[in-house]
Homo-oligomer: A and B are copies of this chain.
Amino acid sequence: MLIFEEGQPGRRAAAEAPGKSGAALKFPAHLTRQQPPKLPEVSELQVVRHYTNLSRKNFSIDTQFYPLGSCTMKYNPRGAHRAASLPGFLNRHPLMAEKNSQGYLACLYDLQEILAEATGMVGVSLTPMAGAQGEFAGIAMIRAYHQARQDHARTEILVPAAAHGTNPATAVMCGYTVKEIPVKADGDVDLDALKAAVGPQTAGLMMTNPSTCGVFERSIAEIAQTVHQAGGLLYYDGANLNAILGKVKPGAMGFDVLHLNLHKTFATPHGGGGPGAGPVAVAKRLVPYLPTPIVMKNAEDYRWSTAEDFPDSIGRLSAFMGNAGVLLRAYYYARVLGAEGLLRVAEYATLNANYLMQRLVDLGFTLAYPTRRASHEFIISLSPQLKKYGTNAMDFAKRLLDYSFHAPTTYFPLLVPECWLIEPTETESLQQLELFVQALESILQEAEQNPELLKTAPHTLPVRRLDDVKAARELDVKYG
């Protein structure tokens, strides 16, 4: 039932509104709303009960193992949530005077420093509000850099075929055309193809490393050299930073600019789709172009950067200064983990992924890159199962839900057929991984004995398989 359908005309949660003021001041008649919006008319209990019960229809980290590849669904510390929700932070207006904001600014300044150190970069701007906006900022900086050098011929951004959709979409938003570079059978970028592709038109290359193939790009140094020699810059999509945090700094690999997904690597909650935060970090030559504002430190005082500090900035990306609450959570996380803790993230995320990969191999699943170590994630292809039982990657995924595990990422990256991208993260235990293995073992048997069970799955959730085609054809996107 929709919240609208639970209402009755005239019902309301009366205590929640301020009530009527003495004098009923009027707006000019022609600018005044004539019909009130048809919002739900419900009691406070109805609202609480409705949304509490709705929440119970979700899978989440707090309730399920959630090995969604590329999404780093690790434990979101409740301590970070509390710290970011302190009244001094939560009630702080974004334009509050700097002198009343020193503690807040100190947190952001420290976070800038921590992210610079962790990535091997020189400058950091925290303002991008998600990974994709970080990408935009990064590519816009590359653009600004070339333009400042009057290098107007560079019109193309290269991306590996395995790249996330935001990469090519971003390049286009920045006014570039996109050229895809093929990936070899071992998961590494096709270096020859890259060499052939670079040239004076190359503005830059966007890539993740480890890549979305779940392997570490071994020829990264050569790739960097190739692009740099052609006059292009290297963009690092930090979505997979969890795999190498503290182990390898993107700066050391030759990247010029990157974003981090704090809502992945720094354990801030995804909130059913957002918010995130996608700070950008840059090497020296891109510092002038960083998006603003940035927190600056003079002796003991913190302040916001002004236009004088960054006259060549690509500009502002958000109304205020990005997703502050996410940044505060990430700062808390970094401080609790510290240097050693950040390093352990990469180590145990990688251990879990490789162990789980091995166990799935034991069960007979097919790896996309069987000769490779897993990074913090790995890919299996369910093509053999599709051939044998007629059950595809989605059928397996839906059946897994019945076992109370969230499904891995399906059908991404696009270049591996019937793929699952599996990312267990470092916060899950060996015992949890084994339960997952047991579930897959059982589903494999079901696929053999009763493939219909998979094809019509899920069977135990609030709804069964939904008709996506109908959803798109007969658009029903609002009540009434």
Contacts beyond the supplied A8-B431, A44-B75: 18 A-B pairs with Cβ under 8 Å: A6-B431, A8-B429, A8-B430, A11-B429, A15-B77, A15-B79, A15-B336, A43-B75, A45-B75, A45-B427, A46-B429, A48-B62, A48-B75, A52-B63, A53-B63, A56-B56, A56-B63, A87-B87
Q: Are A43 and B8 in contact (CB-based, < 8 A)?
A: no
The residues of A with any CB-CB pair to B shorter than 8 Å are 6, 8, 11, 15, 43-46, 48-49, 52-53, 56, 61-64, 75, 77-79, 87, 336, 427-431
Contacts of A46 in B (CB 8 A): 429
Across-interface contacts of A427 in B (CB, < 8 A): 43, 45
Residues from chain B with a CB closer than 8 A to the CB of A430 are 8
- 26 pairs across A/B with beta carbons < 8 Å? A6-B431, A8-B429, A8-B430, A8-B431, A15-B77, A15-B79, A43-B75, A43-B427, A43-B429, A44-B75, A44-B77, A44-B78, A45-B75, A45-B427, A45-B428, A48-B62, A48-B75, A48-B78, A49-B61, A49-B62, A49-B63, A52-B62, A52-B63, A56-B56, A56-B63, A87-B87
What's the nearest-Cβ distance from chain B to residue A99, in Å?
24
Question: Nearest 9 A-B pairs (CB), nearest first?
Answer: A45-B75, A52-B62, A45-B427, A15-B336, A48-B62, A52-B63, A53-B63, A49-B62, A49-B63
CB neighbours of A49 from chain B (8 A): 61-64
Q: Which B residues touch A8, using CB under 8 A?
A: 429-431
A78 to B51, CA, bound (A): 14
The docked-state distance in angstroms from the alpha carbon of A44 to that of B8 is 43
A28 to B431, alpha carbons, bound, how many Å?
40
Interchain nearest-CB distance for A147 vs B (Å)? 46
Complex-state Cα separation, A431 to B8, whole angstroms: 9
Measured between alpha carbons, how far is A6 from B48 in the docked complex, in Å? Answer: 32
Once bound together, how far apart are the Cα atoms of A8 and B433, in whole Å? 14
With a CB–CB cut-off of 8 A, which chain B residues contact A64?
49
User: Closest residue of chain B to A48, judged by CB?
Assistant: B62
> A43–B432 Cα gap in the complex (Å)?
12
Chain B residues near A77 (CB, 8 Å)? Answer: 15, 44
A6, A43, A49, A431 — which one has the most chain B CB atoms within 10 A of its CB? Answer: A49
Output the nearest chain B residue to A64 by Cβ-Cβ distance: B49
CB proximity of A82 to chain B, nearest CB, Å: 11
Give complex CA distance A430, B429 in Å: 48
Chain B residues with CB under 8 Å of A43's CB are 75, 427, 429
Question: What's the nearest-Cβ distance from chain B to residue A123, in Å?
Answer: 30
* Contact partners of A63 in chain B: CB under 8 A: 49, 52-53, 56
Q: Which chain B residue has the least Cβ–Cβ distance from A333?
A: B15
**Chain B residue contacts of A336, Cβ below 8 A:** 15
Residues of B within 8 A of A429 (CB): 8, 11, 43, 46
Docked CA distance A45–B61 (Å)? 9
Residues in chain B near residue A52, CB distance under 8 A: 62-63
Min Cβ gap A72→B in Å is 14
- Expressed in whole angstroms, the Cα–Cα distance for A336 and B46 within the complex equals 18
Q: What CA separation (Å) do A87 and B91 show in the bound complex?
A: 15
Q: Determine how close the nearest CB of chain B comes to the CB of A136; give it in whole angstroms.
A: 33
Cα distance A63–B75 when bound, in Å?
26
Chain B's nearest CB lies how many Å from the CB of A430? 8
What's the Cα separation between A62 and B78 when bound, in Å?
A: 22
